[in-house]
Structure formats: structure tokens, C-alpha cells
Structure 1
Amino acid sequence: MLTESRGADAEPRTEWPPFRDPDAWDRRPLLVAALLALAVGVWACWSATVDDAYITYRYTTNLAHGFGPTWNPGQDPVEGFTNFAWMLWHVPWVWLGVPLPVVSKLTAAACAMAVTWLLVTSPRTWSGAVAAAGSFVLFLPTWVHVDSGLETAPFALVVLRAVLLAARLLHDRDAPVRSWEVPALLLLAGTLRPDGVLGVAPPLLVWLWLRRRDRAAWTWTGVAAVAGIGYLVGRWAYFGHTLPNTFYVKVGVDAATDGRWIQLTAATLLPLLVCATAGLFRARTAGPAALVLASCLALYAIPALSAPAMDYLSRFAWHGFPLLCLAAAWTLDAVELRRVAAATAAVVVGWTAVAGFLAPDGRTMVNYGDDLRRAHIAVGLALADTNVPADRRTVAVSDAGAMPYFSGWAATDYIGLNDERIAHGANPTEVLLADDPTVVVVTSPRPELPPSSWRTDLPRVLGDRELVGAAQMRPEYFQLVYAKPDVAPEVRAALDRRLAEARAVTDTRVDPSYGRWVDRVLGRS
């Protein structure tokens, strides 16, 4: 075949190493440009902490204050979070007084920088590195997921690192890979997310097979297995259930096998998927490509079959996104016509960047932080401001994130994510009547009370409680706050103050649009 080698891409192609020759070409300009693009994107979306992150922060805060990882101190512990290691990581920062969203964002940003570095330095050619790093740092969901407050970016880094180590061994069975590292990554992945072991399982199996005669490999795998089993047993003993509480609520609620998740993911990541799959048909890339696709399939199986809640900006597809970026780069490394490789890299980066901005919920998510501040956070701060006696500081919510976290009140989550009774079949109406919370917050598409919400008979639950305020998050998203008559005046006054304060520090607009986002970032609103 005719070959065309020029400039930075002029390298021998007798074999396919997944790790570069450090003297092949200077990667520093690309690395600097990629990190700068990542920094600008993360800065522009800095406010986008999602409501679910505050669930983890509540458990973290209770643990740091000596109550254990529990939703309501003094009550039966419930596991309403699914990211134990991430929750644990934030505990020391509570003691130091550092705001937890800042800790999350900086930690995730460091992980995203590490991913960027791997995507720039692992491919062998300029075209491959541009395709991998460019797709990653110019993808709008990357910026939002780094700033979301959740474990998404650290988890993606763990899976990527495990796959890279296995790919190194596929190229060179004698490559220096620490015997403890892959098992440690498996353990970390499993404690960051319950399904984390699925993504790391393929590289672990490859590593074990290739190092099957290495006693240290089996010893460290056994140590990780014992530690993992100990973690599971400890969870079971403490919380009383084998799976996180959220599993019992979400499985079967939104289940949909009509292919919507698959269609959206395929359309968004199409060039990356095509390039990764094409690697299966070249001898030099078949092994690593198969490894990447196996890990992605393991990660994607559950969301593909269950239409998961809170899958904003394809969050669960993003777990495998860096893997697909790298697999596409490896495929381009093996393309001998460098102009073809460069053109393909441009298409991959361009498509991925545009697809990120065209995501159905992209406009909503870039404005999410301001919207949350104006509604959920304002309500939570207002409750915290009141002088309601401690034994009556009880609230029921359906959005169990920022409102319980900022209020500090004992909270009944009537979706059931943080309530074992509801998660295991109790009727939410009966639970709320039994708890008799002082304040009930209702999520509604209008500033009027809906007849029901999450199987809850709202008129029956509310009884004589008074509507003391409505906080609008988006055009069809309101939080209606109802309080018992004897505390209603005080709650109303505190809520009015906090809502006015929120309007003063946000852009006051509720429309989800990129124009609004740009105006805010540029200081024009």
C-alpha cells in the first residue's frame, strides 16, 4: 500500500504499540491546548452542581459529625447513595470547613486532567492524539460531568487506567505493570459505583490470563476480593440490605427496552464507535479494540436496558467515553495514509463536539446551577433560617438533594431513594401521615398543587398546611412549600427573604438556552 508520512507522523509502522515512543514528536503543545480547552469548559459550567450530589454531601456531613453514613441522624441508617468511596473522600474536607461542591469539582477536574494527559500521551501519532484528546475536552458533557459534584469523572479515570494497563500487556507481556494496581482499580471502581466492577472486569481478566503464572498477581487479586467481600458484608450488616436503597426504587420504575438510550448514545458517539469497531479488523489493533468494546458493553448493558433516571447528558454513556476516544486514536494510529487519518480525526472531533451541544438536555444542564440556586437551595436555606424547635424541624420532599442538605432538617424522601419503608413497598401517603412533617415540599409542573405525586395523595397528606411560597426552577418546574399553620408565618418570611436573595445573585431567567448561559458567563446578565 502506498504510504504518506510527513512531519510529526513520520514513524515506522512495523508494529502497533498502544504506548508512544517519547521521542517521536513533541506532545506538549497539544497537551497544553487540550488542558486549556478543558479548563475553559469547566470554568464556564462551574455552577452546574446537580441536586443528587447533595444527597452524597448529606451522608458525608453526617458521617463527619459522628452520626455515621445515614440520612437522618438517630434513625435507622439507610443507604441512599451509590458512591461509597466518593462519599468517604469528602469527609476530611467537612472537618476542614471546605465547601463540598468545591472539593468535588476540583477532584473531578484533576481526574479529567489525568484523562486528558493519558489521551494525549498514549496514542502513537498526532492524528490519534488529536482525535482522542480533542473529542474529550470539546465535548459539552465532559464539562458538565466534571462540575456535577458526582463521581462520574473519577470513575471514568479508574476504568480508563485499568484498560490501558491491560492494553500495555497485550502489546508486551513483559511490560512493567504493578501486581497490585489492577486489583486495586477493581476495588476502587466497585466502591465508586456498585456496577463499577463490570467496567474493570475485562481488563482484570486479560491481566490475570497474561500473568497467570505470576503468584503476586493472584495474591493481590485475592486481597482485593477479600477486601471487596468485607465491604459488602459490612454494608449489609450496617444498612440491612444487600443493595443500595436506590436500587429498590429505580429498578422497574423507568425501565424501558425500546432502544431510546442506545439510539441516543449511538448518534452522539457514532464516529468514535465506528473507529473503535474498525480496530477489530486490523491485526495490530484487534486486541485492544476488543478490550475497549468489552468494557464499554459491560458498562452500557444496564443503562441500555433500564432507561436510568438522572442520565442527564448521557452520564452513564460518559463512563466509557474516554475508552472510545482512546480506541478511536489507536485505530487512527494504524492508518498508513496520514491525510486520511488527519481528516478522520477532524470528523471525529467535530461530530463529537457538535453532538454534545445538540444533546436534548444540554441547554438545561448548562443553566442548572443557577436554576437550583433559585429554587432548591433557596428553600433549604430558608428552612435553616427559621426558629422552629429542633424536634419539629421535619420536612418531606420529592427532590431529596439540596433542600434537605441546606436545611439540616430531618427529611422524609417520599420517592423512597432515602427511605427504606417506601423503597420496600410502603405506601408513601401512609408514611407521610405517620411522619407528620412540619413542612411538605411538592414538586409541580405548575404553581398549583397536583392531585398526586409519586403515588402520594397530596391533598390528604397536606391537610390544613398552608402554601407559604413557590420557588420556580424552570418554566414547568416549581417547588411548592406547605407549612403547618403555627409555623407558616415564620417559614413564609424566611422563604421570601431567601427567594429574593436568590433572585439577586442569579440571572432571574428561567428559559433553558445557550444564549442565557453565554450571557451569564460573559457577565451580561
Structure 2
Amino acid sequence: MKSSSTLRGFRNNPAVLICFAVTIFFQLTLTYYALKPRVGFDDANITQVYARHLAEGHGYVYNIGGERVEGSTSLLWTLINAALFLTPFPILMITALSGLLTVGTLVFSGAITRMIGGASGAVALCYLLFNFFPGFFAWSLWSLMDITLWVFAICGLVWSMLRIETQSGSWPGYFGLLLGACCLPLVRPEGIGVAQGLFAIAIYFRWHTRRSFGIYVIAGLLSVAVIAAVTIWRLQFFGYPVPNTFYAKTSTDLFGQMSQGISYVGSFLTETTTIILFIGAALSIAMINASSARPAARFYALLVPYVTIGGLLVYVILGGDHFGSYRFLIYILPLAIPLAAHALAEFVAAYSEKLTKITLSLVLVFYAGLTWGAFIVDGGNVRHELRIAEGSRIVGTELAKLPSVPSVAIIPAGGFKMAYPGTVYDVLGLNWTKMALSGDVRTDALKNHGGFNAEIFWEALPEIAFPRYGACDDGQAMVMDDFGFNITQGFTDTERFQAHYIAVCKEPVVAYVARPLESMMLENGYHPYLTDH
């Protein structure tokens, strides 16, 4: 059975198109209103730094003329960003691409719903169920990070595999499979594991149903060949087999990291929306396994649980994430939602009473409204990530007005570097190889935030340290907030630091400056800033 095209499905059933369009428009509006995005998250700005330098011909570097360092985790997303930095409006273009990829993910999800046996009503429900997850759209539309491409690539690969698992298969399926095998390891380093896991499930399914699985073996070998080639290139170009971010992130001990990973996954699994989604998916899987469903549906019922469990275990080992709204687990949503939509559609079809359908609709709308209200209030716990990048860009712009271009050490190293032309030291090591490889292992550090080493800092001796967005009368009495103070282990309270640096301020910048620069800063309108630490 060939799955009907999405465009044909839209044309034949306007209700599906309406649900699709309403979801995209509503979530774009809701998340934009709640988040007020401008330049993406600070980590996205790190990728933009490398992309801009590549586009300008400076090479794969964080500081122009500095060391080669791969501080952006996604090679493919960095290269795509670099191409967009050749246009007059790169941030707008990256945002537009993020929107297109998000639309593509929903299209894949709707197509999957139809391919596992869902009628038009199930496809429409699939699109509507996305409205329960505004955090998905916050990440996919506005973070401008590689997560948008990551989710799109996984969904596209799964869609391709389902096309192949239909009785007749199709060339788009084979093409998508081989393209996904090549691209997924380039989107994120763990992509090689995801690709091999998907192919292993497909091989098992084909073997169990006594069908040829050669195409999946070829895809697996192709995926390995791509990551091998990239690893050889990395060794020759950077001197290391994986991105520098890996070394900075492994500065925390394994057991502490896994503890954080368990908390991360546990929090995701106890979210009410996650529980409801998984119940719906489980019911759908049970119905598929109890019926004479199509091969594609039976394959999907096998694939989704294993991919979900595998992903949860991977991110337990990797320590989860410090960002809100579960960016590393949102790939599960467009894979599980088709199953939940299928189950919900079967339930609606089984009950012809209008009262039952109206009651169910009101319950769903009421609960969706609660999720929207919560998101407007807390911004999915990611709103502050946008403000960090924006504030850091302002700080970088202001410090760039100084008559000299002092070297700067900073924690949020993306937005600041996008605006500051001088040498910038990323004190967490994501963009500074020596700091990342300092060898210290923290047992108390938040994942991705244990890379700071005081001795490496003193070797570099930056002229400005830890600047932030603020004002002299902000009442905080600190240049570095408690979070930064903790991840640097109280570094700014040490006698050596206080002997070498003095706190100054000039709205909108608060910073530590080396004492030899004090007179220059005062001449340019900065004033002493009283701190508690």
C-alpha cells in the first residue's frame, strides 16, 4: 500500500488542512507572545559565531585568528547556518528555516499517522494533539538551535522506513533512508547511535517476518562510513575525534551526571501531558498488535517503544540537560503523537453519541487551555535563555565601544561574542580547548557547567571578567549571580582575584576589570560597583 501524499490528503479532506494550519498559526502566535524571541538561545549564538566566521572566510574558529575549536555540537547545523550568513539577513533566514523544519516535522507526523492505518480524522487529531506541547514549538521555532534539525531528521528517517515497510515500498523511502543515514550522524554526535538503533530494529523486524533486510544493512554501513570520515577530518583539522563541547561536558563525574540524568528523565515521565500521551500510545500499540494491521503499523508499534526507551537511557547516561522543556526528549513527541491520535480516533469512532464526543472535546480543550496558560506564565522555563543572549549582545556592543579591545572572560559565550570583536575566553571551555581539557572532574557541578579551572584562567589573564547586563543601582550587589558564583566555585571571592580585579559599572554593563584598566574605564564613564562577592 502506498501512503497517499500529504498534499492529496489536504486536498481531499479540508478538515485536515484546517487542523494543520490552525495548529501552526496558533502555536507560532502563542509561543511568540509568551517568549518574545529575537536572536535565539545563547547556545544558538555560539553556532552563529562559527557560522559567521566561516561565511567571512576566517575558518572554523571562535576567535578570529585564534585556535581551531569545534565549540558547536552540530556540524551540519553550523554549515547550514554558515550558508545563511551569506545572506543579508541571516537571523531572519535561520528563523524561517526553523519554521520550515517545524512544519516538515508536523507533516511527517501526519503522514506517519495515515501510514499506520489512521483515517483522515486521526490525521486531524494528530495535528491538534501537538497543541498540548507548546514547549516543543518553543524549541523548534525560536531556539534557533540544532534541536529543530535533529527532530526533523529523526522523523524524516522514520517516515522513510515506514514507506519502505509498506508492501510496495517507494523510491522516496529508499532515498530518505540513505539520506537520513548520512545526515543523522552529522546533526549531532549521538546521531550515529540513533541511526544504528533504528536500523537494528528494522533488521530484527525484517528477520522476524522473514523478509530481506539488506537495505538496512547498507544504510547502517553508510552511516558508519560517514561518521568515520568526519572523525578522520576532525582529527586532522581540530586534533580531536569529537567536538570540543564533549570534553567540556565530561568535566562532571559519571555517577553525578547519571543522577542528574535520572532526575531529568523522571521529571519528563511524570509530566501530566507525557503520561496522557504515553497511555494513548500504549493503547494504540495494543490495538495494532491485537489486529491484522498493515506491516507498516506493526513495524511502527515495535519501533516507537524501543526508540523511546533507548533515548531515555541514553540521556540518563549523558546526564540529561539543564534547559527547560526537555529539548533532548521532544523527538519522542512527533513519533508518539500519531499513535495517540490513532487510539483517540478509534475511541471516537466507537462511540456515536454526540454527548460523548462533545464531552471529550471539551475536556481536551480545557486541559489544552491549562497548558497554554502555564506556558504563558513560565515560558516553558526557557524564556530566560532568550534574554541571556539578547542581554549579552548588548553588553558586547557596549564594551566594543572602548578605545581598546580588551580580552574578556565570560560564561554565556554566544550572544556576547556575536557582538564583541576582541578575544573572548569561554570559561566553561565549550569554545576553549585548554579549559575543556583541564582534567578537573567536578562532583557538584551542573551538567555542562563543570569546565572552569582557575589555573587556566590565570594563564590567560583576561582584562575583563564576567560582564553582565545590568545597572549600578540594580540592587544585586554582585557582578556574577549565585549560579555563576557556584559553578566557578566562589572564584571571585578569592584573595588573588580581588587583588587583580575591581568591579565597575556603566548602564547597561556590570563587570570586573583588571586594575591596570581602571583609569581607562573611569575615563569612559564607568564607576566603581560595590559587591558582596
- Between the aligned residues of both structures, percent identity stands at 15
1:33 corresponding residue in structure 2: 22
Alignment partner, residue 378 of structure 1: 394
Instruction: Call closer, same or farther: CA 1:85–1:166 in 2, change over 3 Å.
Output: same
Work out whether residues 58 and 65 of structure 2, in 8 Å CA contact, stay in contact via their aligned partners in 1. yes
Q: How far is 1:351 from its partner?
A: 4.5
**How do 1:224-239 residues align onto structure 2 when only pairs under 5 Å count?**
224-239=223-238
Give yes or no for contact 1:396–1:441 (8 Å, CA) kept in 2.
yes
| Aligned pairs for 1:18-417 within 5 A | 22=9, 25-26=13-14, 27-44=16-33, 45-47=35-37, 49-99=40-90, 101-121=91-111, 122-123=113-114, 124-145=118-139, 146-172=141-167, 174-207=169-202, 210=206, 213=212, 219=218, 221-251=220-250, 252=252, 255-257=257-259, 259-266=262-269, 267=271, 268-282=273-287, 283=289, 284=293, 285-335=297-347, 336-338=349-351, 351=367, 354-355=370-371, 358=374, 362=379, 364-366=381-383, 368-370=385-387, 372-373=389-390, 375-389=391-405, 393-417=406-430
**What is the SS of the residue equivalent to 1:388?**
coil
Give 1:241 deviation, angstroms: 1.9
Contact 1:119 1:326 in 2 (8 A): yes
Q: Is the 8 A contact 1:245 1:418 kept in 2?
A: yes
Decide whether aligned partners of structure 1 residues 488 and 350 sit closer, same or farther in structure 2, where only a CA change above 3 A counts: farther
AA partner of residue 404 (structure 2): V
Q: Which structure's residues are more often helix, by fraction?
A: 2
CA distance in 2, matches of 1:388, 1:485: 15
Letter in 1 for 2:277: L
Q: Which moved more, 1:442-451 or 1:73-82?
A: 442-451
Question: TM-score, normalized by length of structure 1?
Answer: 0.78
For 1:238 and 1:342, locate their aligned partners in 2 and report how far apart those are by CA, in whole Å.
Answer: 61
What is the CA deviation profile of residues 235-276 of structure 1, one whole-angstrom value per residue up to 9, with x for unaligned ones? 122222222222223233561437322232122411111111
Change (3 A) 1:333 1:58: same
Question: Is contact 1:53-1:401 (8 Å) kept?
Answer: yes
**Contact 1:396–1:411 (CA<8 Å) still a contact in 2?**
yes
Query: Structure 1 residues 362-371 or 191-200, which shifts more?
Result: 362-371
1:214 and 1:55, CA in 2 relative to 1: closer, same or farther beyond 3 A? same
Quick one: structure 1 residues 265 and 136, their matched pair in 2 at CA, closer, same or farther if it must change by over 3 Å? same
1:53 to partner: Cα distance: 1.0
Seen in structure 2, the aligned counterparts of structure 1 residues 195 and 273 have a Cα distance that, compared at 3 Å, is same
CA contact (8 A) 1:38 1:138 kept: no
Q: Which amino acid aligns with 1:264?
A: S
Residue pair 2:151, 2:331 contacting (<8 A) in 1 also: yes
Is the Cα contact below 8 Å between 1:399 and 1:443 reproduced in 2? Answer: no
Q: Report the alpha carbon displacement of residue 342 of structure 1 after superposing the two structures with TM.
A: 8.3
- Please say if residues 186 and 196 of structure 1, whose CA atoms lie closer than 8 Å, have aligned partners that are also in contact: no
Q: TM-score, normalised by structure 2?
A: 0.77
Structure 2 counterpart SS, 1:469: strand
Where in structure 2 are there 5+ consecutive unaligned residues? 441-452, 470-474, 528-533
2:458 aligned to 423, 429, 433, which one?
433
